[in-house]
Amino acid sequence: MVVPPEEDGQLTTSAVRVLVATAVPAERDAVAQAFPDPYGETRTLPGGLTLHHPTGAPGRYDLLAVGVGPALAAASTATALTAASLTGDPYDLVVSAGIAGGFAPDAPVASLILADHITAADLGAETADGFLPVTDLGFGTVTHTPPPDLVRRAATATGARTGTVLTVSTVTGTARRADDLRAAHPGALAEAMEGFGVAEAAGAHGVPVLELRAVSNAVGPRDRSAWRIKDALESLTAGFGKLAPVLESWRRHDF
């Protein structure tokens, strides 16, 4: 639970303004449950998006279900960032949050992962000699790096493990693909489907990004019945409650 300022003596001047991007409403609601008043206000954005603004805690949080996959996540996040800029009240930080597949044994079910790198794992070209990232083709980027000091502080507060969170457009469904991803990205702890898209939008607006994931399943052979979504969502709520005070003490000049 996020503690109101009068209970912990924190200063509330220049409250940090945070956009939290989840894929689906169930993840957004899990984040909202970390706040005293989870559904304070809502606001409609172009494109049929609804921002949820929980209240009763320091900091100014907008929660947005951005859709599944990196492309829709980028489009939805960019819409919210642009709307905020146009009203003269831009965000200080974007957090990609939700459930994820964890690479065993380092990221067990219900554990929390904070990305020290947010990497697009399948953005590139397949060749006879293997996969080439899009950067090797002379285009764009495949990795965004959240502010390292903020990641360290947030990991300490939440107990999250830190490592690369991969963004994939296709959920891994075999042990072979899991091994290939781990071989290509030895620092990877988890895979999900939105982080890179959210980070691309944030990067385009010059806004720093974090990715917080709660593990719902192991990356590997597909077994949807084994996904422990409830445990992961509870873990996400608890993790966000501990993350929020770190973000509230965050100042842009710190990083």
Ligand X SMILES: O=C(O)c1cccc(C(=O)CC[C@H]2O[C@@H](n3cnc4c(=O)[nH]cnc43)[C@H](O)[C@@H]2O)c1
Q: List residues near ligand X by CB under 6 A.
A: 23-24, 26-27, 68, 98-101, 168, 171-172, 191-194, 216-217, 219, 229
Contact 82, 38 (CB under 8 A): no
Q: Give the torsion through C-alpha atoms of 224, 229, 230, 233, to 10 deg.
A: 180
- DSSP state letters, 134-180: GGGGT-S-SEE---HHHHHHHHHHHT-EEEEEEE-SS---SHHHHHH
DSSP state of 3: P
Shortest CB 218 distance to ligand X, Å:
8
Shortest CB 4 distance to ligand X, Å:
28
3-state secondary structure of 84: helix
Residue whose beta carbon is closest to ligand X: 101
Shortest CB 223 distance to ligand X, Å:
10
Shortest CB 31 distance to ligand X, Å:
11
| Single-letter amino acid code for the residue at 212 | L
Shortest CB 217 distance to ligand X, Å:
5
Distance (Å, whole) CA 37 – CA 114: 25
Shortest CB 142 distance to ligand X, Å:
17
**Closest CB to ligand X among residues 3, 68:** 68
Give how far the C-alpha of residue 49 lies from the chain's centroid of Cα atoms, to the nearest Å. 18
**Closest CB to ligand X among residues 71, 171:** 171
Give how far the C-alpha of residue 247 lies from the chain's centroid of Cα atoms, to the nearest Å. 14
**Closest CB to ligand X among residues 25, 148:** 25
As a whole number of Å, the CA-based R_g of the chain is: 17
Closest CA to 121 of 176, 170, 52: 170
**Closest CB to ligand X among residues 119, 216:** 216
**Closest CB to ligand X among residues 85, 169:** 169
Shortest CB 24 distance to ligand X, Å:
5
Helix (H) or strand (E) holding 113: strand 112-120
| Single-letter amino acid code for the residue at 114 | L
**Closest CB to ligand X among residues 92, 211:** 211
Distance (Å, whole) CA 138 – CA 120: 15
**Closest CB to ligand X among residues 15, 75:** 75
